[in-house]
Amino acid sequence: MTEDAIIIGGGFAGLSAAMQLARARRRITILDTGEPRNRFSPHSHGFLAQDGRPGRDILADARRQLAAYETVTFRDAPAEKLEGEIDGFSILTGDGGRIDARRVLLATGFEDQLPDVPGLAERWGKTVLHCPYCHGYEVGGGPVGVLARTADAARFAALVADWGGVTLFTNATPEPDDATLSLLEQRAVKLRPGRVTAIADGPNGMLSVETGPGIPTLVKAIFVMPEARVRSAIPGDRGLTLKETPVGKIIQTDETGQTSLPGLYAAGDIALGPGNITLAAADGVKTGVMLHHSLIWPTH
Ligand SMILES: Cc1cc2nc3c(=O)[nH]c(=O)nc-3n(C[C@H](O)[C@H](O)[C@H](O)COP(=O)(O)OP(=O)(O)OC[C@H]3O[C@@H](n4cnc5c(N)ncnc54)[C@H](O)[C@@H]3O)c2cc1C
């Protein structure tokens, strides 16, 4: 049987889209590999009425509620390939299956590519953080670091100064220009030049940030904006139009969430760039509704 839609990715965007389609009694299959981007953090913050809950628990609740709709099928398998065209798509799954659908929604989220600094990856989501709005409050003030990956980190450091006393580790990125240096001075951001060679446990639960020989800098947490990559081969295979953002390439969509391939939609981080749960969920709702409309009023 042909599904109305296949949703690739059962994260915040995918499940939000699924809810709209399920409530319209449309037949959908949700493919999911169960690895939301925030899986490294024990708690999630800032999502209204869910503040402080583990992200996995929020998704598990959503999944349970969706499973009550009889037109919804979950399949815990990766989508590997997209064949066909609008009204006649097929998804080939990693477990050897094939599912046919009129529309497809990509909501696979990002995979973060952290700078190659020893000690960084194992602390990701705990004391190595990307989003001050998500986790900055819990750091509780005091000394914090910003690890530069690109020149944009200087402006980010000026922002993070609302959450603590910032040291910006320039990590061999270009020296900030005069206007940025003046902003950093106003925001009391200290500059620490040189390449960061390691992050290690310091005394009293602090992080020790090493920049070559000399005394390491102690901070409570360090913020970094990693490069984010779309977690799917489908955009490349199908030649989708992409868009450059400060965090990396994302999928270009129109105002309805449709990609450059008619009938293929994208939502969440991969269509928004730097995002959060609320924005991904809202984008999923919008795109789910627009995808539903396209089943009734074809736009192609
Ligand atoms: C460490 C960290 C902490 C964060 N903390 C917060 C926070 O506290 N508050 C907040 O608002 N935001 C937070 N965020 C941001 C938030 O995680 C993202 O904005 C949000 O997860 C994006 O939702 P999404 O649905 O686009 O993607 P995701 O939530 O990443 O979901 C994508 C889903 O697609 C699945 N998938 C991927 N590829 C395939 C495939 N080929 N086939 C089938 N399934 C696939 C994945 O397994 C995953 O389940 C955090 C991010 C990070 C990195």
pLDDT tens digits, residue range 15-62? Answer: 999 999 999 999 999 999 999 999 999 999 999 999 999 999 999 999
Ligand 1 center from residue 178 Cα (angstroms): 37
Residue 276: per-residue pLDDT:
97
Residue 261: per-residue pLDDT:
98
The residue whose CA has the least distance to atom 15 of ligand 1 is 276
235 CB within 6 A, ligand 1:
no
Q: In terms of C-beta density within 10 A (0-12 exposed, 13-18 middle, 19 or more buried), how is residue 218 classed? A: middle
> What is the tens place of the pLDDT at every residue in 191-201?
999 999 999 99
268 CB within 6 A, ligand 1:
yes
277 CB within 6 A, ligand 1:
yes
Residue 103: per-residue pLDDT:
98
Domains, the chain, ranges and CATH? Answer: 3-111+228-296 (3.50.50.60), 115-224 (3.50.50.60)
Q: What is the mean pLDDT of residues 89-93?
A: 98
51 CB within 6 A, ligand 1:
no
93 CB within 6 A, ligand 1:
no
Q: In terms of C-beta density within 10 A (0-12 exposed, 13-18 middle, 19 or more buried), how is residue 158 classed? A: buried
Residue 298: per-residue pLDDT:
75
C-alpha of 264 from chain center: 20
Ligand 1 center from residue 45 Cα (angstroms): 14
> What is the tens place of the pLDDT at every residue in 220-236?
999 999 999 999 999 99
> What is the tens place of the pLDDT at every residue in 166-187?
999 999 898 899 999 999 999 9
275 CB within 6 A, ligand 1:
yes
Probe ligand 1: pick from 19, 43, 277, 287, max atoms within 8 Å of CB? 277
212 has pLDDT over 90: no
Ligand 1 center from residue 13 Cα (angstroms): 8
74 CB within 6 A, ligand 1:
no
Residue 180: per-residue pLDDT:
95
What percent of the chain shows pLDDT beyond 70? 99
The mean pLDDT value of the chain amounts to 96
16 CB within 6 A, ligand 1:
no
Atom of ligand 1 nearest to the CA of 78: 42
Closest by Cα among 18, 268, 74, 108 to 5 = 18
300 has pLDDT over 80: no
